[in-house]
Chains A and B, each alone.
Chain A
């Protein structure tokens, strides 16, 4: 069965600095990987996905993620953090077929001005 781990409950970064939110996964076949963001009292919003192709994928709001098959990781990155990026971030994975997404526990990002 597929699983995903987000090793950090909280990440703090200064505004203007680069940010990284970590995610590792486990699947039996080729992974389908996603990142979502949740602002307070809101539903989750899709940021980006990796299905196949280039290991570096770009998404909404200047975010990008790097797929690393050998390390089974899919870390979320942004070159320059904004205070408005402060939110809860979820990594999700699914295996082949019609299996639903499995979500990590989430990482709370706090960007400090």
Chain B
């Protein structure tokens, strides 16, 4: 049981480049989330999805896009990367709102 798998683990981007952070879960969870973690700031919600075909903005969605074409996959797209997007990105999933989240191991992104 792999849980939540994120790729890549590390990435360095140049300003203005684009990339997709991949997130896959094998637990058949309907709910999936993208958070970013900055030192001393906790986790900020970027986007979330309550099921295939449904996505919604979180607290800090600017500069990002998501899609949810299948239950398993929830990729996060960065367009025109900026230094402010340097962060650690975590994907999470849950089978229901009364249950704990299962987190991936994270993607550390640096924009230079």
Measured CB to CB, the residues of A under 8 A from B are: 9, 32, 34, 36, 41-46, 49, 51, 90, 94, 97-106
A43 touching B106 by the CB < 8 A rule? Answer: yes
Chain A contact residues, majority secondary structure: loop
CB of B84 closer than 8 Å to a CB of A: no
Interface residues of B in 13-62 (CB under 8 A from A): 31, 33, 35, 40-43, 45, 48, 50, 58
Number of interface residues of B (CB under 8 A): 24
For the A-B complex with A36-B103, A43-B92 known, give 9 more contacts whose Cβ atoms are closer than 8 Å.
A42-B106, A43-B103, A44-B101, A49-B98, A49-B100, A97-B97, A98-B50, A99-B97, A100-B33
Complex Cα spacing A102 to B45, Å: 8
Partner of B98, one of A32, A44, A99, A100: A32
* Pair A9/B100 contact, Cβ less than 8 Å: no
Q: Mark B95-108, 1 if CB is under 8 A from A, else 0.
A: 00111111111100
